[in-house]
Amino acid sequence: MRVLHFLDSLSRGGAEMQALDVCRNAKDFGIDVTLATAGGGALEDDFRESGVEFIRFQRKFPVDIYLASQIRKIIKEHRIEIVHGYQAVDGIHLYLASRGQKGVKRVLSFQGFIADKRNRLASKFLIPRMDANISVSRGLQNWLAAKDKLDTSKNFCVIHNGADAKRLIPLGNSLKAELGLVKDSLLLGMVGNFYRDRRKDQFTLCKSLPRVFAEFPSAHCVFAGRIEDGAEEKMADCLNFCIENKIIEHVHFLGARSDVPDILSELDIFVFSSLHEGLPVAISEAMLAGVPIIVSDIEPLLEASENGQFAEVFPVKNAEVLSEKILMLLRDKDLREKLADKALLHARENFSIEAHLRELTKLYRSLLETGDKNGL
């Protein structure tokens, strides 16, 4: 199968990491991937070295007709059978590029909730014009229908995100040494960008920490993730809370990091406090890295944890219950290890890159066996 994956940019985010893991492993599943992008980013070198053909364009306008024409040339020259995008802007350009191309199938992935009206309108236009739309969780599919008023009843399927365990092998760099912590310090943390919209909820984790540090004064907490433009105030709120509550020496804001495997290897607990998600790659990574996790009780995270079988769960924005969950795990190493072991087995079966590509390959094959839709 010859497939073109198109990403508007290559910043370090969940969709981009998912696409990167697909590129690195697609050949093992009989998929010949060409990766095209309309802009660079922190992951550009990783994509260039991923083992697939890499093509870099530059988008100059929100809807760039010239860019679509360049993608169209790639489709023809490479005899592409399937085009696959990861957000509305990808889908618009792939739709324009593939329209009228006989036999070319269109796929659009929905990785998370849709933040603004423009993207909702674009998604509403695209959904019936795709041969398949992928939601990364049933919870997200329900959200898209209920909150964004999109028709997810017809050509939608659920394929969970999956991470590449090989990518999660630590390189041997010690975060504890970098921070000047002793080797046996208890360390908890969250990996997630600070976004300007209502998505990640680092502040609730900060609010849970004074009680944790009161019982475990040698414990520390780290936040790894870039600060999106417009999210500076959210990060400042977290920082100010930690300063005002005299815990700032125990809380470390690391910014964007490329060494997540090394960070995960030293965490005793992974906390994912969130308000809205699709099914974050960060959860798959933590499970596959063998770290016990605590998640907020939104539908996609309950789906990933099988309603708390493979993670501790706390109510959204409830710092008090989150404190209790953290303390329970910090007090009991055996409990942490049992939870991590169960989650690891669950993730290998359901949230590994192999599990993801098995389902993606099935979808691609089924599309190539169906009739043509590209005249729409």
**Residue 282 · residue 261 · CB < 8 Å:** no
The closest alpha carbon to 69, from 34, 37, 98, 39, belongs to: 98
Q: Are 251 and 244 in contact (CB under 8 A)?
A: no
Question: Rounded CA gap, 103 and 82, in Å?
Answer: 9
Q: What is the CATH number of domain 2-162+353-368?
A: 3.40.50.2000
Helix (H) or strand (E) holding 287: helix 281-288
User: Residue 297: phi, psi to the nearest 5?
Assistant: -90, 40
Q: Please name every residue paired with 312 in a beta bridge, in sequence order, or none if there are none.
A: 294
Q: What is the pLDDT of residue 374?
A: 53
Query: Which strands sit side by side in the sheet containing 312-314, from one edge to the other?
Result: 251-255, 220-224, 187-191, 269-272, 293-296, 312-314
Contact 246, 254 (CB under 8 A): no
Q: Do 2-162+353-368 and 165-350 fold alike per CATH?
A: yes
CATH of 165-350, one of 2.20.25.90, 2.40.50.140, 3.30.1330.10, 3.40.50.2000: 3.40.50.2000
Retrieve residue 344's tokens: 């690891």
Which of 237, 154, 193 lies closest to 13 in space, CA to CA? 193
Instruction: Tally Cβ neighbours within 10 Å of residue 196.
Output: 14
Do residues 296 and 201 lie in contact, with contact meaning Cβ atoms separated by under 8 Å?
A: yes
User: What strands, in cross-sheet order, belong to the sheet with 53-56?
Assistant: 53-56, 32-37, 2-7, 82-85, 105-110, 132-135, 156-158
End-to-end CA distance of the chain: 23
* Beta-bridge partners for 190: 223
User: Is the Cα torsion angle 143, 146, 151, 155 positive or negative in sign?
Assistant: positive
DSSP 133-148: EEES-HHHHHHHHHTS
Name the DSSP letter for residue 329: H
Entry pTM: 0.91
DSSP class per residue in 123-134: HHHHGGGSSEEE
CB atoms within 10 A of CB 134: 22
**The pairing of beta strand 82-85 with beta strand 2-7:** parallel
Confidence at residue 113, expressed as pLDDT on a 0 to 100 scale: 80
Host H or E run for residue 325:
helix 319-331
Provide the pLDDT for residue 328.
98
For residue 212, the tally of other CB atoms under 10 A from its CB is 23
User: Tens-of-pLDDT digits for all 376 residues of the chain?
Assistant: 999 999 999 998 889 999 999 999 999 999 999 999 999 999 999 999 999 999 999 999 999 999 999 999 999 999 999 999 999 999 999 999 999 999 999 999 999 888 789 999 999 999 999 999 999 999 999 999 999 999 999 999 999 999 999 999 999 999 999 999 999 999 999 999 999 988 899 999 999 999 999 999 999 999 999 999 999 999 999 999 999 999 999 999 999 999 999 999 999 999 999 999 999 999 999 999 999 999 999 999 999 999 999 999 999 999 999 999 999 999 999 999 999 999 999 999 999 999 999 999 999 999 999 865 554 5
Where do the domains of the chain lie? Answer: 2-162+353-368, 165-350
DSSP 41: -
Q: What share of the chain is helix, strand, coil (3-state, %, to 5)?
A: 45, 15, 35
Residue 158 CA to residue 110 CA, distance in Å, equals 10
